[in-house]
Chains A and B, each alone.
Chain A
């Protein structure tokens, strides 16, 4: 394709957008509204996912070591655990540190623990976090096999319930988003189809005077792309300011501080890129599908 022809297609695409004012408006609104709904769900799903991951990441294995253990043996065990597959972090809490922590937790009643320094009843402990919290049971089982490890504890029953719940939440979120994306595509391609239908005479004449199919398609390609991008701009703006407002009000309300929301950045970029990409794809796909029917002359 000649550069001049390409310029013509782009110009023609813009001109069509301007010329079919109301059609453009309705197509852009359809894109905007569906992308807005999709965006809200996306934000919701991403935050739920984030919340779930935060909770999951708090899952850790407490590895208690034998009371009679020697410092050199502790080092050996440390290396052994480190070499296991899927270990993210490994922290050693000596029995002395354990006692200090316990005292802190007792607060005013810490005097009850006095004298325990002489004969510390606590174990030396390793705290292990897994890369994949869902596979924590396998890891725990492996650690248990190591010599001088007296017990491993990761709250088996609670953790397995938690993971069943989070898997469900994630799956339902996915289904919702895929369903919404399809609805958006259907709605938008339908609207674009109407705008193209109004121009079937133009396409017919182009075919009759010998325009190639791609010559006819390009302006519609440009138009679909523009419609999609224009339709994505509004929801991005609304979502950006809405989410910012939400973050501000959540951080201002202490009672909600246990809920961790995703920070504005890079979330804003991710959502913006996703919505623009989706809008562009839907716009192009919709207009290509619609023009196809009229090219068969």
Chain B
């Protein structure tokens, strides 16, 4: 998802996980009408969505393992399942050897991979990422994109809002361009802009 600052990319993302409500229209996510959902049902649909932010949003007082286990604990998953699943996702994002580190001991790229592991741990149908590479250098950004690609191959849809022209033009995925709160373009194998 591309578009200039203030175009409505973040709002689009917030609408998907129901932090914002649409003034009109409807949103379907994994077969549920998000807009019609009762307030107390919202937590359950959020378990089907993993959210990744530019600023990682990790809990600084928990270590790598606990940060991920936390996301499973809140869904009241059995302990056994947590013990099995957390090392799995740590392996997938390449942080298996850092499970005892705290977020402030990790590099930016590692922190973002931790955030992705947390988003992934409950096996969501969709991962939504709001400028996940915004705070990272180009090489690290590509590491993150490779990770997303790997996750995507395993069958998880990834929706990503970004300003990174190079990434969009290289991966050649579906591109939705937003401007002034409107979808102005929706292309498969699209680029960052018409000129690009």
Contacts and interface: CB of A to CB of B under 8 A. Distances in A.
Interface of A: 2, 4-5, 8, 19, 201-202, 204-213, 215-216, 297
Contact of B74 (A19, A201, A210): A210
Residue picked from A201, A204, A210, most chain B C-beta under 10 Å: A210
Interface string B46-81: 110001000001010100000000110111100100
Contact of A210 (B19, B46, B61, B79): B46
A216 B76 CA distance: 12
Interface string B112-131: 00000010001000000000
A258 B17 CA distance: 73
Interface of B: 17, 19, 40, 43-47, 51, 57, 59, 61, 70-71, 73-76, 79, 118, 122
A144 to B, nearest CB: 69
A180 to B, nearest CB: 36
Contact of A215 (B19, B71, B74): B74
Nearest to B17: A208
**Which 6 pairs of residues, A with B, have the shortest CB-CB distance?**
A211-B74, A210-B47, A210-B46, A209-B71, A212-B43, A210-B43
A201 B59 contact: yes
A201 B57 CA distance: 8
B67 to A, nearest CB: 9
Contacts of B122: 209-210
A19 B74 CA distance: 19
7 contacts: A2-B76, A202-B59, A205-B71, A208-B51, A210-B44, A210-B75, A215-B43
B76 A209 contact: no
Contacts of B45: 210
A297 B19 contact: yes
Contact of A208 (B46, B61, B79): B46
B61 A209 contact: no
Contacts of A2: 76
Contacts of B59: 201-202, 205
Contacts of B17: 208
Given A8-B73, A297-B19, 15 more contacts: A4-B79, A5-B76, A19-B61, A201-B59, A204-B57, A205-B57, A206-B70, A208-B51, A209-B74, A209-B75, A210-B43, A210-B46, A210-B122, A211-B43, A215-B43
